[in-house]
Structure 1
Amino acid sequence: MTHESGDAHERESFARLDKEIGPHSAHSTRTPEDEESGALHPAGSAPVGPDESADPTEAIMVDRPGGPSGPRLVDRVRSSKRRTVIPAWARSWDEFKTAGRGVAAYAWHVASYHAVRTPWYALRLTAHAPRGFARFLGESMRWMSDAEGEPLRQDAAGREDVGDYLKLSRQRDRRVRWRTLVSIVIGTVGPAVALALYVLAPTWLLALATAAAVMMLGRLGQSADAPVINRAVEIPKATRLTSDIVLRALGSLGIHAINQDQSKGGPGFTFTAPITRDGPGWLAEGNLPYGVTVTDVADRRERLASGLRRPLGCVWPEAVADEHTGHLRLWVGDEDLAKSRPAPWPL
């Protein structure tokens, strides 16, 4: 009885204690930090805070795999830059007429220049005809005797290479035999044709053939440094703009990003379109390396002109309004714009 009454008394004590503490005590725990903040945490749960087991040096992935990759193909096609099917000069009647007038004026000037000097040309060529005839005979004899192979035979003899010398000697003998035969045939047929022409041909044809032969001999006898017929128009020699020339010029600017890319085997400049003619000059377009702007190139325009080996007034780097600042549009003219003739005003 004593044991049972003790258990009943103990149960009553626990019941009174439970009522005094309240309903939240059985489901919540309080930590020393919570005593200060007054926060309660549910029983069996941990305080919410940073994960102490996470690696602080672990990189956070910002590129979402499988996410959107950018504009769709249709969007890129719609916003793409399309090149003209027909060149600008062919679509403009004014430009076409201007080009036609330029070609006609050039042809008229050349014809007039040489027509006025034709008598002087004839006299000078006639004076050079004897020298031309002597050169013709000398070159014919050299060809018939295989004189062009003489240095090779002398070299073989100097090296005392009997095998090579014998091969070259046999080759010379074969050449001399058939070349002599050809010379005999020409020497026989040529005078016979000339005699027949002299007897049977009309006077005008004989005079024309004689004049043509004299002019040919005179041209053969003229000096290499003093030709009889000169150019009517001195056309400036504008070098064709190529990718190698553009890359060489950009590499000479001293821009670190371009030089670094070229030193690693890269081009230093990515062409986005072929180099084409654009008016009186050449046009090249492309992308500069990352971090390099068109302004960086334009500020070094003198160096760029030196790298292109063109006058300063021929080199014009510029940006494109609807492109990024690293997209370079380089126009290289055939002549200095300050010295070129301005286009006629349509009004």
Structure 2
Amino acid sequence: MQALRPASSARAYSAAAKEMTVREALNSALDEEMSADPSVFLMGEEVGEYQGAYKISKGLLDKYGPDRVLDTPITEAGFTGIGVGAAYQGLRPVVEFMTFNFSMQAIDHIINSAAKSNYMSAGQISVPIVFRGPNGAAAGVGAQHSQCYAAWYAHVPGLKVLTPYSAEDARGLLKAAIRDPDPVVFLENELLYGESFPVSAEALDSSFCLPIGKAKIEREGKDVTITAFSKMVGYALQAAEILSKEGISAEVINLRSIRPLDRTAINASVRKTNRLVTVEEGFPQHGVGAEICMSVVEDSFEYLDAPVERIAGADVPMPYAANLERMAVPQVEDIVRAAKRACYRAVPMAATA
């Protein structure tokens, strides 16, 4: 049986069509960074012999060997601690969680060891480690496998939190995360792995890298700003297309980075559109959308022509039943309704005494 190998270059994936799946983008980014830097290695459950639960590491064990593609026992606390220790010594581990829900088993190492060490050592210790894997709802996997951890980790000083949407996001942001001197939480989405996206010639180059902390305007508009990240970007774009047929021009911002958050891009857009809708699949209380709304209230309040609108997941553990699961996750129609509310009403006058 012929061994599976990663492509020697990302161009080999879909050069003719100039398209790439998110899975291919992540695989090619790992391959290129491991090839360029011998200190980079991958570890996690089933990343080697099985080539990853979602085949992100396909071919990497065959190419780089078991010293750099490490299959671990089912003990997140153990192998995450090993990864942080390796980062202390100057290596660049990429720690894969089969789902970010399992990162809860290792949260002491992520928060108290990785995130705080640079500060506690007065800058003498860098922790160049990436924690990556699927985050958020998938399809019928229950409450303990469906949670979004973007707001959780974005709360922590010392961590950077990235949320790719497209294949270009996945390639450019994962490369940036691996090269970064600080710990990065890299939140992928299981339902996006098989989706194909157009990729530019620039993104196919092995030197391609996206800046951390910079959002992307996916669609320009003038009537309402819609912020989203990960899979919700696709929903926001679908909503913008529906809104355009009703005469509403929506600007869609792909956040890409949750911490640091591109407050400049968000506020610049709101100052142009005068309205804001935030979209996330996480819980509504103390979420990413709440932080964005606060940033706009602090910096651009006088530009708002309507109250800010937050679209988030239901404030309940994720149901298992398919019909209830759909009700617990934001849908395109929810975004459309929120944008219409924002565009069809003005900020109400303050009540007089």
TM norm structure 2: 0.19
TM norm structure 1: 0.19
Higher CA-based Rg: 1
Instruction: Name whichever structure is richer in strand by fraction.
Output: 2
Greater RCO (Cα-Cα under 8 Å, separation 6 or more):
2
